[in-house]
Amino acid sequence: MAQRVRPIRSIRFLTAVLAGVLVTPFLFDQPHSDQDHNERHVVATAAALVPTATKLPRTGWTATATTGTAAAVLDGNPATVWETAAAGPLPQSITIDTRRTQPVSGLVYAPRTTGGTGVLGQYEIRLSLDGTTWGAPVAAGTAADDATAKAFSFAVTGTRFVRLTALTEAGNRAPRVAAAEVDLLGDPGAPVPMTPLARTGWTAAASDQETLRENGAAANVLDGNAATHWHSRYAVITPLPHSITLDLKQPTAVGGLLYRPRASGANGRIGEYRVAVSTDGTAFTDVSSGAWPDTAAVQDARFSQVATARYVRLTALTEAGNRGPWTSAAEINLLGPLPGTQLPLSRAGWTATSAALVDNDPATHWRTTGSGLSFTVDLQREQPLSSVVVTPRGDSAEGRLGAFSVAVSTDGTTFGPAAATGTWATDATPKAIALTGTPTARYVRVSTTQTVAAAAEFHAYGPPAQPIAVGPLNRDGWVATASDQETAAEDGRAANVLDGSDATIWHSRWSGTAAPLPHWITLDMRAPQTVAGLQVRPRGDSGNGNIGQYRIELSADGVTFGAPVATGTWPDGSAVRTVRFPEAQARYVRLTALTEAGNRGPWSSAAEIDVLAASAAPDASVTGLWGATVGFPIVPVASALLPNNKLLTWSAYAADNFGGSNGYTQTAIMDLTTGQVTQRRIDNTGHDMFCPGISMLADGRVLVAGGSDAKKASIYNPTTDTWSASGELNTARGYQSQTTLSTGEAFTVGGSWSGGEGGKVGEVYSPAGNSWRTLSGVRPEPFLTVDPQGVYRADNHTWLFAVGGGRVFHAGPSRRMNWVSTTGTGSVTDAGLRGDSADAMNGNAVMYDVGKILTVGGAPAYQNADATARAYTVDITTGSPVVQRVGDMAYPRAFANSVVLPNGTVVVIGGQAYPVPFSDQTAVLTPELWNPVTGTFTRLAPMAVPRTYHSVANLLPDGRVFSGGGGLCGTCATNHPDGQILTPPYLLNPDGTPKPRPTITSAPTTAANGAAVTIGTDRAVTGFALMRVGSTTHTVDTDQRRIPLTPIPLSPTSHQITIPTDPGVALPGSYLLFALDADGVPSTAKEIRIGQ
C-alpha cells in the first residue's frame, strides 16, 4: 500500500479566508445499482487537492536515539530499521537534527514494511532549537496498528530538532518499537515576504576581534565591503565560541540572517552556529541554530519566528573546516518582513512555465539555460498584487536568481514596464520584492539576464480586503510622564490621560511663563508590547491645546527613541484621533505635539490616550484556546460521547479509506481522562458503518444504521463495551439523518448515497422489538434540496429535531421546512420556508434552547458551490415556525460542525468556503462563537488542522469541545487521523489561566420527566443546563440539545430543579448536567439519564 501521508495546511493570516475558488475535475458515473454506490462517492483528482505540506529534503540530517541504530530512519531504505532493545523498557525516543532551523508542520512515521511487533502505539512529539531545551508536546496520540506510514500533524513551527517518543507498542506484543523511515513535513503555506533590512546607523561589537595583526574589527561586517572582515583574535589565541552582536538602535522585526564568509581565505568560516535576539542587550533568546558548510557562498539562518529585537547575536560554535579556533565574517545582513501587510493569494488553479513553481514541493524546481530567460505564472484571474516571492532551489546554488525584473500583464501577451527590479543575494532564503503601484494583473513574468536560471516556488501577495482590526491595550499599571504639565492653575497632570475620564486632561504648562512647543507625553506600558497605533481623545470643554502637527516614536528603554513611526497633522476639533503604524515592539510610546491645531497658543492637551495593538496577545476569555493535536489510529468520521468520560469514534472498513460493503468497521475509543486511544475492528455485526444514521437511544446505547452496508444496523452498549447486530432496515440507505423520538424510538429518512437512489421513505426503529417499521406516508420528496446531482445528494443529511407526540420538525437543509408525524404510516406537513434562505446542504442546525434552533452555513449544492455565511434562528415553540435571520458568520462555511455549549452559545468549527470533498482548499481554520443574546458571532482562536469533509465535533463533560477527523480518502493528502480539544472562552481568564468553576457535589444518576430533583454544589450557582449527549457524522448531530433550567434555591449550595414533563422537550436518554455560576462559568458535568 502507498504511504498514507497526512500533511496539513496553515493559514498564516488568521483573519483571512483563502480567496481562490477551486474548480475541481470530477468524474461522475451514470445512474448505478446498489453495488456501485461507493464508487459514486466523489473523490477529487490529485490535481484538484489542496497544495499540502511536502516532505522536507533530508540531505545532511542526522538521527540519534536512546537505543538502536537511529541512522536507519534517514537512509531511504525501508528494509533497514531503527529498533529499540527487545527487552525494553518503553518509553524510547528518536531525535532528528535537521541541521538548520526551518518551518516544520508534521512528522511521517513508517513502521517496518511487515508491520507486526514494533509498530508505534502511543507517542509524543516535541521540538527544540538547540537539542537540549524541549517544549511541551506539539502532538500526541495513538497510531494505528498496521504497516502503513502515519503522518502526525501540528501547527507550523520553526525548529531544528524533532523528537518522537514511543510510549507504547501498538499491539502490546513487546516493550519495543521500530521505524523504517522518519520524514518531516514543511510549511504548506506561503512564506512571509522578507527583505534585507537597511543597516544605517547600526553598530557591531564582538566577544573578541583581531586588531594587532590585521584590521579584523567587528564593524567591518557592516561596511558593505566584502573585502574587509571581522576576525576573532588570534595574535593571542582566543578559544571558540566567538560571538558578534549587531545593535539595530531600535526595536525591529527580524526573521533571518545572511552570513557572507571572508573573501580572502577559508580561515574562520563558521560551521555550527546559534542566533539569539534581545531587546536590551543583556537577556538573549535563541531564535535559530544550525551548521553551515565549509564554502565561500553566502549562507542563511532562518529564525523560528519573526522576532522584534534591537540586538541580534551570531555565535560561532565551531570552525567549518576545523582549521583552528577562529571565526570570521565579511558581511552580516538581517532579513525583516517586507513593509506593509500582505496576504498570500490562493494558488488554486495557477499554471506556470514550469509546474514545479506552483507545486508546493521544495524538492522540485524550474531550470533553464540560454539568454533572455524568464518564467511566467498565470493567476487565472486579475487581482491586485503588492509583492511576489521567489523561493530559490535548495539543492544547489546553480541558477539562483541574482539580477531580476518583474513585469505584469492582464492578457499574457502585452507586459508593461518592470513593476520591480533589483538583485537578490544567492542564498537559499525566499526572495521578496514589492511591486510598484500595486498593479492589477493576471500574469506575472520574472526575468533575468543570467544564462542559467532556476527557482523552486513562486508566490504572490495582495493587499488585505480590509485593515486588520486593532483595539486598545489594557492600561492597568501604566504610567504617563510629560515634557511639562500644568499643576499650578489646574490639574493638568500627564497621569490624567490614563484615568478613563474624559473630564480630566493633560495640559502643557501655561501658567506663568508658558512652556514652548513642542510638548511630548510618554506612556510607559511597564513591559514590551506589540503596538500598531495610537488613539487620542481631545479635551471636550474647549479647543485649547488640541494637537495639530504630531510625531509618534517608540522606545525599549525610555531613553533612546527610534525614528518616528508616524507623523501627520490633525484638524482642530473634538473627534477621536486614530493613527495606525506598522507593528513594532516597544515599552514606551511617545506622542510629540509640534503645533496647536487652532494656532491659539503654545499649548498641548489630551483627555485620554490609548495604545492600539493589531496582534496583541489574544484575550483567551474571548478567543478560547486549543490544546495539542491528539493522534488517532483512524480518521474519526463518526463520533459519539460515552459514559465515564470516553469518546467513541469510527471510520469505515479501513482506518483511512472507504468503499464497498465489507462487513466490518474500524473503531477507536478515546479515554478523555488519560488521553489514551484504543483501536478495535468490529466484525461480529457484519456492518461497514461508514456514512450511517446515528441515534443515542433512551437507554444510553448507540444505534448505527445503514451506510456502506446499507441495510445493516448495529448497536453499541457502553455498559458492556460490546457491539451487536440490530434488526435490519427495511430500506437500504446511507448519508441519511436519524433522530431519537420522544417515544424512545428512532426515526430516519432519506439516504440515496447508498442502496439505490430515490424512494427513501421514513422508517422507525423500535428498541422493544429490535425492528424497523416503514412509514409509507413519509415520502422523501418534501425534504429534497435542488441539487445538480439529483436525489443522490438531495435527500442527504436532513436536520431533524424530535418534539412531543413522536413528531419531528425538519428544519433543513432544504429551504422548505416540514413537520413529520410518525404515528401509523406517518405523514409530512409543510411548515413553510426558512425565511429567505436558499438550500443549505452541508450546513447544520442545533437546538440551543427549548424549541429554538440555530442554522448556519451550507451551500445550494452538496459540492462545487459557494457556501453562505448566513445564520438563522427558527422558533418552533408556538407550533408555527418563526424564522429570523441573525448576524452573519465572518466566514462562509459548508462541512462545518456546530456544538451548543451549556451557557447557550454555539461554537461553529471548520468547514470550507467552497465545499469540495477530500480537499482542504478554502478551509476555514478560525471557529466562531454565536451569542443568542446579541445574535452575532465572535471569532475564536484558530485550529492547527483543517476540519472539513468527514470531520466531527462533540461537547465533552468538562465543558470543552472535541474537534477531529476529515478526509478518509486512502492515499490522498487530506486524511486527518487526529483531533484537538477547544477550551471555550467561558472557562478562561484573559491570560489563559482557568477560571474558578463550580462543582456539583451531589446529583441523581436518573430522573423521570416532570421529576423535581435536588442538586448540591460547592458554591452559589444561578442556573443549570441539561445537555443531551451528542453523536456526529457528516456535520449532523441530531442528538444534541440544550435545556436551561432555573433552580429553586434550598440553601446557598442546595438547589431544586424540575425536569421538563414533556418528553418532546427532554427526550429520553443520557444527558450532561452542568451548573453555571453568575458569570456563566459551567461546572464539570454529572451524567444523568432522563425518562425511560
DSSP bridge pairs for 128: 161
Whether pLDDT at 33 is above 70? no
Predicted confidence (pLDDT) per residue in 816-862, tens digit: 999 999 999 999 999 999 999 999 999 999 999 999 999 999 999 99
Residues 536-545, mean pLDDT to the nearest whole number: 84
Whether pLDDT at 898 is above 90? yes
Of the two residues 469 and 384, the one the predictor is more confident about is: 384
Whether pLDDT at 27 is above 70? no
- The pLDDT confidence band at residue 389, using thresholds 50, 70 and 90, is very high
DSSP bridge pairs for 1018: none
Specify whether 507 is located in the same domain as 577.
yes
Q: Would you state the pLDDT for residue 781? A: 96
Q: Specify whether the CB–CB gap between 562 and 250 falls below 8 A.
A: yes
Q: Would you state the pLDDT for residue 974? A: 85
Residues 610-615, mean pLDDT to the nearest whole number: 79
CA atoms of 762 and 778, how far apart (whole Å): 5
The beta strand positions in 813-943, using DSSP E, are 816-821, 827-833, 844-849, 852-856, 871-875, 882-885, 897-900, 906-909, 928-931, 936-939
User: Among the three residues 833, 856, 886, which one is the final residue of a domain in this structure?
Assistant: 833
Query: Considering the domain boundaries, does residue 924 fall inside one?
Result: no
Whether pLDDT at 37 is above 50? no
Whether pLDDT at 967 is above 70? yes
CATH number at residue 1011: 2.60.40.10
Whether pLDDT at 308 is above 90? no
CATH number at residue 551: 2.60.120.260
Kindly report the backbone phi and psi dihedral angles of residue 34, in degrees, each rounded to the nearest multiple of 5, phi listed first.
Answer: -55, -35
Query: Considering the domain boundaries, does residue 895 fall inside one?
Result: no
CATH number at residue 747: 2.120.10.80
Which triple of cell numbers denotes residue 570? 490633525
Whether pLDDT at 590 is above 80? yes
Q: Would you state the pLDDT for residue 19? A: 24
Whether pLDDT at 23 is above 60? no
CA atoms of 834 and 838, how far apart (whole Å): 8
Q: Would you state the pLDDT for residue 52? A: 62
Predicted confidence (pLDDT) per residue in 725-738, tens digit: 999 999 999 999 99
Query: Considering the domain boundaries, does residue 16 fall inside one?
Result: no
Which triple of cell numbers denotes residue 728? 435490519
Query: Considering the domain boundaries, does residue 497 fall inside one?
Result: yes
- The pLDDT confidence band at residue 329, using thresholds 50, 70 and 90, is very high
Q: SS3 sequence, 104-121?
A: EEEEEEECCCCCCCCCEC
Predicted confidence (pLDDT) per residue in 124-150, tens digit: 999 999 999 999 898 888 888 989 899
Q: Would you state the pLDDT for residue 613? A: 83
Specify whether 327 is located in the same domain as 358.
no
Which residue, among 609, 655, 661, has the nearest Cα to 635 in the 3D structure?
A: 655
Specify whether 455 is located in the same domain as 482.
no
Catalytic residue among 259, 550, 949, 1071: 949
456-470, 657-671, 997-1011, 1043-1057: segment of lowest average pLDDT:
456-470
Domain range holding 679?
A: 637-724
| CB crowding 568-591: b at 16 or more within 10 Å, else e | eebeeeeeebebbbebbbbbbbbb
Whether pLDDT at 163 is above 80? yes
Q: Would you state the pLDDT for residue 1092? A: 66
Residues 308-328, mean pLDDT to the nearest whole number: 96
CB neighbours of 1 closer than 8 A, spacing ≥ 6? 147, 148, 971
The proportion of the chain whose per-residue pLDDT surpasses 90, expressed as a percent, equals 76
Q: Would you state the pLDDT for residue 190? A: 85
Total domains in the fold of the chain: 7
Q: Specify whether the CB–CB gap between 967 and 635 falls below 8 A.
A: yes
7-11, 231-235, 754-758: segment of lowest average pLDDT:
7-11
CA atoms of 15 and 618, how far apart (whole Å): 13
User: Among the three residues 462, 480, 506, which one is the final residue of a domain in this structure?
Assistant: 462
Specify whether 719 is located in the same domain as 736.
no
Query: Considering the domain boundaries, does residue 854 fall inside one?
Result: no
Query: Considering the domain boundaries, does residue 297 fall inside one?
Result: yes
Query: Considering the domain boundaries, does residue 600 fall inside one?
Result: yes
Q: Would you state the pLDDT for residue 790? A: 95
Q: Would you state the pLDDT for residue 676? A: 81
341-355, 382-396, 436-450, 481-495: segment of lowest average pLDDT:
341-355
Q: Would you state the pLDDT for residue 32? A: 31
What 3-state DSSP class applies to 715? strand
User: Among the three residues 806, 833, 860, which one is the final residue of a domain in this structure?
Assistant: 833
Q: Specify whether the CB–CB gap between 547 and 558 falls below 8 A.
A: no
DSSP-derived secondary structure for 692-712 = -EEEE-TTS-EEEE-SSSTT-
Specify whether 102 is located in the same domain as 236.
no
Q: Would you state the pLDDT for residue 501? A: 80
Helix (H) or strand (E) holding 793: helix 791-794
Specify whether 826 is located in the same domain as 717.
no
Q: Specify whether the CB–CB gap between 676 and 122 falls below 8 A.
A: yes
Whether pLDDT at 24 is above 70? no
DSSP-derived secondary structure for 256-309 = EEEEE--SS-STT-B-EEEEEEESSSSS-EEEEEEE--SSSS-EEEEEEEEEEE
Specify whether 329 is located in the same domain as 200.
yes
Q: Specify whether the CB–CB gap between 739 and 802 falls below 8 A.
A: yes
Kindly report the backbone phi and psi dihedral angles of residue 355, in degrees, each rounded to the nearest multiple of 5, phi listed first.
Answer: -60, -25
Whether pLDDT at 10 is above 50? no
Task: Work out the angle at residue 796's Cα, subtended by the Cα atoms of residues 23 and 866, and round it to the nearest 5 degrees.
Answer: 30
Query: Considering the domain boundaries, does residue 25 fall inside one?
Result: no
Specify whether 330 is located in the same domain as 207.
yes
Specify whether 519 is located in the same domain as 603.
yes
- The pLDDT confidence band at residue 341, using thresholds 50, 70 and 90, is low
| CB crowding 641-659: b at 16 or more within 10 Å, else e | bbeebbbbbbbbbbbbbbb
How big, in percent rounded to 5, are the helix, strand and coil portions of the chain? 5, 40, 55
Q: How many helices (H) and strands (E) does the chain have?
A: 2, 76
Specify whether 373 is located in the same domain as 486.
no
Is the pTM above the cut of 0.75? no
Specify whether 247 is located in the same domain as 209.
yes
Q: Is 872 a catalytic residue?
A: no
Query: Counting beta carbons within 10 angstroms of the beta carbon of residue 466, is it exposed (0 to 12), middle (13 to 18) or buried (19 or more)?
Result: exposed
Specify whether 480 is located in the same domain as 453.
no
Predicted confidence (pLDDT) per residue in 849-891, tens digit: 999 999 999 999 999 999 999 999 999 999 899 999 999 998 9
